[in-house]
Amino acid sequence: MTQRRIFWNRKTVAVAASLVAGLSLTATGVLVRADRDDRGRDLRDAIDGGRAKNVILFLGDGMGDSEITVARNYQVGANGRLWMDTLPLTGEYTTYALQESNPSLIDYVTDSAASGTGWATGFKTSNGRISSVAGTGAAVTHYSTILELAQRAGFKTGNVSTAEITDATPAVLDSHINDRGCQGPANMATCAPSKKENGGPGSIAEQSVDHHVNVILGGGLARFHS
């Protein structure tokens, strides 16, 4: 399985949870185990009645406990603390992919496309797919993403990456396609039904532009020129 870690502050928890729950959430929707010292009370207090104006999700692609430990040892030493260690609440999750040929079966080795689709949409999919349904072939059936939900709710949105902005992890927010490799109009060999000339939504780059995301920062300019 692939492990990811996410970091948030109190306001982030409130907004992220509110978006997923239709922009309203109370403590009654939070499961807290009172018999364990897991900071459940802090989590409940952060969410209960909470609403925030903004939310920024920082995602370390492929970052699990071992990567964080290496960074800590290198940067500040084993007894030191990274900035992320000072946050009042942290969490982590494990995930898996589905098999494209039979989505009822699990693929235990998850790539960034399937894992990203999971956190961006709340649904599992097969490796290589970008926010689309496993087993639907090149004619994409898509899942709505948290960025799209935010847009519908009237929020300004942004997508910022140190990689190509059309790479799998950032792409899951503002595009839907069957193959993560279809990043620009010149890369559409395996995504023919999605080509604009075939009546589809276009490549990842084209969909990113058409989504009218307010702020887009990242690499991969050539994808938009092709």
Backbone angles phi, psi at 212, to 5 degrees: 55, 45
Task: Write the burial class of residue 63 (CB in 10 Å: 0-12 exposed, 13-18 middle, 19+ buried).
Answer: middle
* Residue 62 to residues 34, 65, 197, Cα–Cα distance (Å): 32, 10, 35
Catalytic residue annotation: 112
- Pairing relation of β-strands 215-219 and 158-164? parallel
- Residue listed under structure tokens 């887009």: 216
Closest CA to 95 of 112, 83, 110: 110
Helices (H), the chain: 10-20, 40-47, 65-75, 112-121, 146-152, 168-174, 204-210, 221-225
What 3-state class would DSSP assign to 137?
A: coil
